Amino acid sequence: MTDGCRLVMLGRQGAGKGTQCVRVARHFDVPHISTGDMLRAAVRAGSEVGLRAKGFMDRGELLPDEVIIEVVDEQLTGSESTRGGFVLDGFPRTVAQAEALDKIVAPLGGLDVVIDLDVPVSVVLERLASRRVCEKCGANYSVAEPPTNPWVCDACGGDVVQRDDDTPVAIRRRLDLYEQETAPLVAWYAERDLLETVDGLGDADDVSERIIAVIDARRSKR
Ligand SMILES: [Zn+2]
């Protein structure tokens, strides 16, 4: 019987972070919480901060840090579902957000570990550049795993295309931005002895096993 974990997952786009978050959350029976999910939940609940967040989103504006932090606080401390822990995905993105998260989770016992899912840039570049998507329903394919009929969606018959923002130049720009944004965050967690870098290459099952082993080792030291 596992008794939850409080985890932050970092990793560049194309590292398989979303997939691994789902698997690890299922293993430890805790919710996988992305920033987008939290924002939607807050808006749905109609809380005060949810309504403020909705205002920014409706106007197409970026959410200020303090609003995101308040949403995270409300979702993590105000909800029964996160009692046993959580897998946080997409938050924090900055040191300021990490400091705020630190305060939010302190009463819960703090974070167990921050996983940096490491896949080399050259590999994610290739993965992302080979990505193809259905224009109509959003189903994902790749050059290596195309739909049955070349570039006709198996699910809906729509056109399967390469997204404009999946060109090598655009991908490289996003990865560079992520690196700039995340490097201080990674250093901040390393200084606090919370960071574990996990090799994200290979079979998804093997990667999950590696992550779970790292979390188990940390939890046993609690
Ligand atoms: Zn489709």
Tens of pLDDT along 116-163? 999 999 999 998 899 999 999 999 999 989 999 989 999 999 999 998
Average pLDDT, the chain: 91
Indicate the pairing of strand 131-134 with strand 140-142: antiparallel
Answer for the pair 14, 119: CB distance below 8 angstroms, yes or no.
yes
Tens of pLDDT along 179-192? 999 999 999 999 99
172 noted as active-site residue = no
> How much is the pLDDT for 111?
95
222 noted as active-site residue = no
pTM equals 0.85
Q: Which domains occur in the chain, in start order?
A: 6-30+84-220 (3.40.50.300)
> How much is the pLDDT for 1?
38
Residues pairing with 161 in the sheet: 133
Which DSSP string do the residues of 170-220 spell out, in sequence order? HHHHHHHHHHHHHHHHHHHHHHTT-EEEEE--S-HHHHHHHHHHHHHHHHH
Length of the chain, please?
Answer: 222
CA–centroid distance, residue 157 to ligand 1 (Å) = 6
6 noted as active-site residue = no
Tens of pLDDT along 87-100? 999 999 999 999 99
Q: Is the pLDDT score of 2 beyond 60?
A: no
